[in-house]
Amino acid sequence: MIPVKASIRREVLSRRDSIASALRSGKDEAIRKSLYFLSAYQSARFILLYASFRSEVDTFEMIRHCLTQGKRVALPRVDSAKGELFLYEIRGMDDLAAGCWGIREPIPSPERERGVQEMDLIIVPGVAFDEQCNRLGYGKGYYDKLLREKRAKAVALAYEEQIVASLPAETHDIKMDAIITDQRTIVNCGH
């Protein structure tokens, strides 16, 4: 199973990396608009987002938008020793600093640590997705562990180039409730 996943990861990351920057900004805007239109987003008071990295869908404008809309925002911080994500509420972009793998993460602060059960909406990154809402991450399993405890909808953001015909899904893999791309929103996903 691992060689298949590794091969899909390589192929999809290559496709995602090769999206021209002029095209990428339009795609990012389309994804943002679709997210803001989602009723789960509109009703959410507390949202878990992530700081985009490399060629991922840009989330920084979304983070700023949520904060200006009066929504509470948390971001994950990687604890690689424990193999877990810890969530911290942020008040602004100044609460972020370069962390694991150079990804911007919240500066840890015990009074701002939050649980995934507190979230009204969870925005999830990933490498590849299929129309059955399966997700292929980066291979560490951090989000699968985190999402086992969720009570809110998990929505993935992806470019259409990241959608594949089918992904190998294992029992520990958590399906998304929706996937927003620059061309469509895949919902319900058969579960």
Which residues belong to the annotated binding site?
5-9, 56, 135-143
> Which has the higher per-residue pLDDT, 131 or 101?
131
Which amino acid does the sequence have at 4?
Answer: V
Q: Which domains does the chain have, with CATH numbers?
A: 2-184 (3.40.50.10420)
- The whole-number pLDDT of residue 93 equals 94
- The whole-number pLDDT of residue 100 equals 76
Characterize 2-32 residue by residue with b for buried, 16 or more Cβ atoms within 10 angstroms of its Cβ, and e for exposed. eeebeebbeebbebbeebeeeebeebbebbb
Which residues belong to the annotated binding site for ATP?
5-9, 135-143
- The whole-number pLDDT of residue 2 equals 53
Tokens of 107: 């500066």
Give pLDDT tens digits for 8-66.
Answer: 999 999 999 999 999 999 999 999 999 999 999 999 999 999 999 999 999 999 999 99
The residues that bridge with 96 in the sheet, in sequence order, are: 106
Give pLDDT tens digits for 104-153.
Answer: 999 999 999 999 999 999 999 999 999 999 999 998 889 999 999 899 99
- Which of 175, 30, 50, 65 has its CA nearest to residue 125? 50
**Is the pLDDT score of 191 beyond 60?**
no
Please say whether the beta carbons of 78 and 142 come within 8 A.
yes
Please provide residue 163's backbone torsions phi and psi, each rounded to the nearest 5 degrees.
-90, 125
Rounded CA-CA distance 47/72 in Å is 6
- The whole-number pLDDT of residue 99 equals 83
Which residues belong to the annotated binding site for substrate?
56
- The whole-number pLDDT of residue 167 equals 94
